[in-house]
Chain A
């Protein structure tokens, strides 16, 4: 039986009187790129926040058996720091040396066509470029499992295609991702898709 990177079982979450998750379950294996889709307010981000550890579930269990990283929907970057400084700061968080982190970061900046902005403050970047920085930060540590909450908002089409290539390369290297996505037309690029329905993640 294949190793399981993530196993979430019977997750429940309630905000005051609003029951958002009613027994959501999900499993991810190495090399899988799994999509999580659903209408606005269906509980996708709540479910991901629980899987990542940012929220505590009311019931159920989450088991993560690998190193993981998270790319939030809203770019969480330091506006007063340049792109390179942001990469250095998060490299330190991942336990990478500044040199190694910057080398990986600069390669990704190059790949996503934004290296020319590397010395600009994140607060001065366009929305799309900030989102690229947000994504690059989560890719820095080359995690076994990457949680992506609508990571390409504000991307132009070319950048979106580069993103898809990056994800494909991850899968080929045996690494995995869980992607919250609205890109229904690209579902064939995913290993599996779960749809959030009535608080459960249903295999689409």
Chain B
């Protein structure tokens, strides 16, 4: 068998990559409602949890990662409930966008590849969009912590939300390539993200957003926050989702010759 020549004209890969980035971004132009929902989600999650938790009573102790070890900090009970909720909101939003960006475009992406696009060009552009979406969503996730409660280091809170979004992008892509059907895929996204609401104590360590949640706690309450270990852990977790997602996506996109 001979190969299909991959390019008829002389447009450069960088130009193709830019076009893909541009077109994938433009596809969200008419999806204002989706973007509004995923932006409001972290704020609504936080508000629902914060204002429905009991007020007053005895202060609760929380372990706060500091640069040199951990410190125990006493906070209002309702603040412990709402601690990681903004990240869950950001993660839910980004994983939903990531899921639909893969699931909804499998056939069209394949046509692009058949027409000459390299699969990595489309995927790299998609990752660029998802990373770009995580940045403003992380701001939305940060707002409650800076307005309603006090954060010692708001920039670290933003970083925590952003790294949570990165992990969720990998998670959403993986679900989208494993289960390219909207109902089943969305149920998995809701189920797995929802599990995070119920986890406490040592069990929470096994949740995929544990690292960014610890980073958020450190940014909110630590005097000298511990950043690098949790950013590193978050990037490792994002990679653990992204590598199989990319492999599975490449398998689905592959042209037989």
Contacts and interface: CB of A to CB of B under 8 A. Distances in A.
Contact of A52 (B8, B114, B116): B114
Nearest to A86: B23
Contact of A78 (B2, B23, B110, B257): B23
A95 B11 contact: yes
Given A63-B1, A93-B16, A53 B29 contact: no
Contacts of A62: 1, 257
Which interface residue of A57, A69, A94 has the most chain B CB atoms within 10 A?
A: A94
B20 A81 contact: no
Contacts of A92: 11, 15-16, 19-20, 117
A114 B63 CA distance: 65
Interface in A41-76: 50, 52-57, 61-65, 67-70, 72, 74, 76
A76 B26 contact: no
Given A76-B107, A89-B19, A92-B19, A54 B8 contact: no
Contacts of A201: none
A81 to B, nearest CB: 6
Interface string B109-136: 0111111110000000000000000000
Contact of A54 (B16, B108, B114): B114
Interface in A129-145: 137, 141-142
Contacts of A90: 112, 115
Given A64-B1, A80-B28, A95 B255 contact: no
Contacts of A202: none
Given A78-B23, A92-B19, A67 B5 contact: yes
B83 to A, nearest CB: 37
B108 A76 contact: yes
B125 to A, nearest CB: 11
A55 B256 CA distance: 6
A96 interface: yes
Given A53-B114, A64-B1, A67-B4, A80 B26 contact: yes
B23 A94 contact: no
Interface residues of A, number: 41
B114 A94 contact: no
A197 interface: no
B7 interface: yes
Nearest to A61: B1
A81 B19 CA distance: 12
Given A67-B5, A95-B8, A97-B11, A76 B111 contact: yes
Contact of B256 (A50, A78, A95, A123): A50
Interface in A84-103: 85, 88-98, 100
Nearest to A141: B8
Contacts of A97: 9-11
Contact of A100 (B9, B108, B257): B9
A54 B144 CA distance: 49
Interface in B1-48: 1-2, 4-11, 15-16, 19-20, 23, 26-31
Interface in B89-122: 105, 107-108, 110-117
Given A67-B5, A95-B10, A95-B16, 4 more contacts: A64-B4, A77-B108, A81-B23, A95-B116
25 contacts: A53-B256, A53-B257, A54-B110, A54-B256, A67-B4, A67-B5, A72-B111, A78-B27, A78-B105, A78-B108, A81-B26, A85-B23, A89-B20, A92-B19, A92-B117, A93-B112, A93-B113, A94-B115, A95-B6, A95-B8, A95-B9, A96-B9, A97-B9, A141-B8, A142-B8
Interface of B: 1-2, 4-11, 15-16, 19-20, 23, 26-31, 105, 107-108, 110-117, 255-257
